[in-house]
Structures are given as C-alpha cells and as structure tokens.
Amino acid sequence: MAVTDHAGVDVYADGEAVARAAAEFLTDRALEAIEERGTFRLALSGGSTPKRLYQILAGPDYRDRFPWTSVQLFFGDERFVPHDDERSNVHMARLAMLDEVPIPAANVHVPPFGDDAAAAAAAYQDELVRVYGSDELNARGALFDVVLLGLGENGHTASLFPRTSVLDVTDAWVSWCTPDDAPNDRLTLTYPAIDSSACVLFLVVGAGKHEVLGRVLDGDTSQPAARITSRGEILWFIDRAAAGDAS
Ligand SMILES: O=C1O[C@H](COP(=O)(O)O)[C@@H](O)[C@H](O)[C@H]1O
C-alpha cells in the first residue's frame, strides 16, 4: 500500500511546512486541553527533524499564542550525556525553544544524567508519576496529551532501538538501552507509556525515510516504530520526499 493511502497520514510540501503544521496542531491541542482540564502534557522528541518546529514555537507567530505557563513538557527520549552536550536532546530543545519562551522552569521535566542509566530512568519515571498523580497508567486519563515522535532510518522511534531489550519492557514507563547501531546509552519512554497518550504525532521528513516509513505503516513489527500504539490516535505529518514523491 502506498504511504499516502494509510489513515492518519498528512503530506506537506517540505520540512518547513511539516514544522508549521505541527506548530499549529500542537497549539490547537494545547488550548483545547487547557480549556478542558487546565493543563497540557507534551512529550518532545529529539534528533534533527523537530528542531524547526521548536524554533517556530519560540518565534513571533507562536511565542505569545502558545499557552506556555499551563504546559508540562517532557522528553520522550534522551541520549545519556550531560545536558550541555551537543548530542543531548535537552540541549537542542533548550537552544531552539526553551531558552526563548516564558515556560516556568518547574514545568520542564528533564531526564536526569548521572553515572547510572537505570537509576536515571527510574528517577525520571518517579517524576512522571509525581506530575501525573498516579503510578498506574491511564488511571487519570492519558499520561500525555501528545507524544511527539520521529523515525530513524533503522526503524527506531524515541530511543526504542532495534535488537535492544527495551523493546520488551512492559513493567516500566521509562527505561534505557545501549543501541548497537548508534552512539550513547539512551533513556526512553517505553511502549506502555507512549500508549497512554491521547495522541501520538510522528514527524517524518526526507527521502531517506521513505522506505522505512513504508515498512512501519505496513505494520512490519521488526521496525520498532511499527509497534507504537496509542489509546488515542496516531497521526503522521510527513513531507513529499518521505512520501516518495520525487518531484
Ligand atoms: O536519535 C534520535 O532519533 C530519532 C529520529 O531523529 P531524526 O533526526 O532522524 O528525526 C528521534 O526521534 C529521537 O528522539 C532521537 O533521540
């Protein structure tokens, strides 16, 4: 089946258009959630694709419109490096967005760094439990209003990497892995934590992602991203190149 025939897939001209559509989508969802429940819980993704989205949210069109003070921000995954390291997803998000917007520091929930990835994952889960108000997933509605995800050319998403045991973790919200095809240990939300979402939004940009995107959408479960579920909806904002349109 063509990528574009799958439900939930929206195709935009290029990465800039994907980022703009995502900024509008997140703003609408945030305003709706805050009107209904007073808060919006968003898990950010890392890597290169969402950087432009973060810059747009911090820019003149959204800086004063996005309801920063009522948003709780989390990280869907993090490379296990210091937060000021250039490889850190937190570092990227700070430079692109967080340092520029009026979000209270207490609303930005950063995965800890230290000597021990397992201990850091457990501590980050404790932080999620504290903000959510229960240690039982779905007990108080979805854990996240939106989980933002990307897609690696090896089929990983968040830091759910192929051939790692984190793919089998069902008894934790946050865990860690050592990929065999990427540097650094990683902290990541697990499948059950991502499933506890009102919406998962994948952003996929570039011709290099076309083949793996087709496999994931066709349900090839050897690709970690194909095993993502959501108790709400799963949406894909992709550009023409990722859709396989070479024009
Ligand atoms: O390592 C990571 O890669 C994926 C995909 O990143 P992209 O740069 O190819 O879009 C990303 O979603 C994840 O958060 C990140 O840690």
Bridge partner residues of 75 (DSSP): 44
CB proximity list for 10: less than 8 A, separation 6 or greater: 21, 235, 236, 237, 238
Per-residue model confidence (pLDDT) at position 42:
98
Give the contacts of 211 (CB within 8 A, at least 6 positions apart). Answer: none
Mean pLDDT over 103-111 rounds to 98
Question: pLDDT band for position 243 (50/70/90)?
Answer: very high
Confirm whether 28 is domain-assigned. Answer: yes
Whichever domain contains 108, its CATH number is 3.40.50.1360
Span from the CA of 49 to the centroid of ligand 1 (angstroms): 7
Q: Is the pLDDT of residue 247 over 80?
A: no
The domain in which residue 219 lies consists of 3-150+186-243
Q: What residue owns the CA closest to ligand 1's atom 3?
A: 47
What are the beta bridge partners of residue 177? 186
The average confidence (pLDDT) of the chain is: 97
Given this model, what pLDDT does residue 246 score? 74
Q: How far is the CA of 98 from the centre of ligand 1 (A)?
A: 18
Instruction: Name the residue at shortest CA distance from atom 12 of ligand 1.
Output: 150
216 found inside a domain: yes
User: In the block, which residue shows the tokens 């992602």?
Assistant: 209
User: ipTM of this predicted complex?
Assistant: 0.96
Name the residue with tokens 């697990």.
190
Examine residue 71 and state whether it is found in any structural domain, yes or no.
yes
Cα of 196 from ligand 1 centre, angstroms: 21
Pocket test for ligand 1, best of 49, 174, 185 (most atoms within 8 A of CB): 49
pLDDT of the residue at 197 = 98
- Interval 67-92 mean pLDDT: 98
Q: Which pLDDT band, with edges at 50, 70 and 90, does 153 fall under?
A: very high
Domain annotation covers residue 210: yes
Around ligand 1, the residues with Cβ closer than 6 Å are 45-49, 77, 89, 149-150, 152, 157-159
| Distance (Å, whole) CA 166 – CA 190 | 7
pLDDT digits 0-9 by tens, 32-55? 999 999 999 999 999 899 999 999
Number of domains in the chain: 1
Give the pLDDT mean for 86-96. 98
Percent of the chain with pLDDT over 90: 98
Given a cut of 90, is residue 161 above it in pLDDT? yes
Write down the pLDDT at residue 144: 98
Burial tier of 222 (Cβ tally within 10 Å: 0-12, 13-18, 19+): exposed
Domain-located, residue 177: no
The answer to whether residue 164 sits within a structural domain is no
The percent of residues above 70 in pLDDT, for the chain, comes to: 100
What would the pLDDT profile of 180-219 be if each residue is shown by its tens digit? 999 999 999 999 999 999 999 999 999 999 999 999 999 9
Predicted local confidence at residue 105, as pLDDT: 98
> What's the pLDDT at 222?
97
Atom from ligand 1 closest to the CA of residue 47: 8
152 pLDDT higher than 80 = yes
CA dist 172 and 137 (Å) reads 10
The answer to the question of residue 181 being in a domain is no
Distance CA 75, CA 144 (A): 11
Beta bridge partners, 52, equal: none
Indicate the pTM of the whole model.
Answer: 0.98
Q: Mean pLDDT across the stretch 93-100?
A: 98
Could you tell me if residue 172 is inside a domain?
A: no
